[in-house]
Structure 1
Amino acid sequence: MILTRRNLIATGAGGLLLGAGAVSLWPETGQAQQLTIDAVLNDPDAPVQGNPDGDVTLVEYFDYQCPFCKRMHPMLKDVVAEDGKVRLVMKDWPIFGAASIRASQLTLGAVSLWAYEQVHDALMATEARLSIKDVEATIAEVVAVEKAEAAYHANRDTWAGLLTRNDHQAVALGFRGTPAFAIGTTLYTGAQKRKNLVDAIAKARAEA
């Protein structure tokens, strides 16, 4: 699916058809916001890896308990590093329960501790479904859980708002699970092979 203003306006969010102006209501904020290409690709609060000044933006909607996200993660990072000009935007979409939510909250807390990428990679390296204890034990190998939790709560409004936006975007774009991607202005669902990612990045670059 191509991410265009016309498609965004026509896309349903949780059964709600977006009308003229593509305005939907985020329940937690009570503010009308537009689902726009810029909102998907350039949320100022979403953690960025890869090249922050890259000429292609690759957005991944993921869950820390998603086995497909975990299997893809090393390859995704390798493709981004090899290319050198990809801006990788990580959008937590914790759809697998309490452990996923806890993982997202603590990892976002690690942003202000300059440990986001290390914590993110550590959680992605786990093999099985996670309990909250598993999440905290994994994070503790990188940064004190108490510090990550305090940092999350210090910026709770920012991170809760980001998680809400991520969820509403993913639903509005028609994603049914993780991983899901926006690469440039094209949407991709499900795990991708290395060649698919490389080709999608090249396509986005050619269309920019």
Structure 2
Amino acid sequence: MIKTLTAAAALAVGLSAPASAFDVSAMSDAEREAFRAEVRAYLLDNPEVIFEAVDVAEKRKAEAEAAGDDQLLTDNATQIFEDGYSWVGGNPDGDITVVEFMDYRCGYCRKAHDEVAELISSDGNIKFIVKEFPILGEASMISTRFALAVRLVAGDEAYKSAYDTLITMTSDMSEPVLRRLADTLGLDADAVLARMDDPEIERQISETRALAQNLKINGTPTFVMGTELVRGYVPLDTMEQIVAKERSEG
């Protein structure tokens, strides 16, 4: 914050004087000291200028970050939307695609889960893609391997059931727990557990990690909503606003 205020103060001074008005580097020590005193006095008399400059600086920063994200999405569009292995739900022919990078042990992913489901259900025209991105330790990795193994063994519907269940679980992901979960889902536990170290699962996890690195994603949840990269949790009403904005600009 101090750096932002310092930069903003400099910006305020720069915005308030013509570029050719003076050359600070050409000033004598006494002139520089007098100039600094004048700047300080001006800012003390007009503190609102600092906050105005902060707003300008933050807006410029946000615009630069958004432009950078736009380029990242363009450069990685095929891997984001058509990787050939990520689970696809919602309306596969929807006019807006929402992609979520998620971790089963992420509290905000759990918070977002029901809201994302509500968004997809109430809208009816959203294609939803899940990117398994386990970054929160061993339990996250085991959960992801289990979910992906379920899909290899039993298909997309079984995967969706596993996905919806795992996101609510807080217990250790021990073998007995996984066997009970497989049984609850009506699956062959031996077959699922045997596939958890399948090279295909390793490939999918590695490729998603590489994609996340390319997109400069280091936390979950992270969403791609149409053409917008949304870093972090956002509530349902904000998701709806983003989707509406994407449609209006599409």
Task: Give 1:161 deviation, angstroms.
Answer: 1.8
Residue 173 of structure 2 corresponds to which residue in structure 1?
A: 132
What stretches of structure 1 move > 4 A for 4+ residues in a row? none
Coordinate RMSD, CA, aligned: 2.1
Q: TM-score with structure 1 length normalisation? A: 0.77
- Is 1:88 the equivalent of 2:132? no
- Is 1:179 the equivalent of 2:182? no
**Larger Rg computed on CA atoms:** 2
Task: Give 1:151 deviation, angstroms.
Answer: 4.4
Greater share of strand: 1
CA 1:158 to 1:203, structure 2 compared with 1: closer, same or farther past 3 Å? Answer: farther
Q: Give, in whole Å, the separation in 2 of the partners of 1:135 and 1:61.
A: 25
Range moving further from structure 2, 117-126 or 166-175: 166-175
Q: TM-score with structure 2 length normalisation? A: 0.65
SS in 2 for 1:64: coil
Task: Give 1:103 deviation, angstroms.
Answer: 1.0
Give the conservation status (yes or no) of the 8 Å contact 1:79–1:194: yes
Task: Give 1:207 deviation, angstroms.
Answer: 3.2
- Is 1:97 the equivalent of 2:137? yes
1:29-178 to structure 2, matched below 5 A, reads 36-112=76-152, 113-114=154-155, 115-126=158-169, 128=170, 130-133=171-174, 136=178, 137-142=180-185, 143-152=187-196, 156-178=198-220
Paired residues in the alignment total 178
Identity %: 26
**Corresponding letter in the other structure for 2:162:** V
Task: Give 1:139 deviation, angstroms.
Answer: 4.2
- Unaligned 5+ runs, structure 1: 10-34
The one of the two structures with greater contact order (alpha-carbon pairs below 8 A, sep at least 6) is 1
Task: Give 1:118 deviation, angstroms.
Answer: 0.4
**Corresponding letter in the other structure for 2:207:** R
Greater share of helix: 2
CA 1:145 to 1:67, structure 2 compared with 1: closer, same or farther past 3 Å? Answer: farther
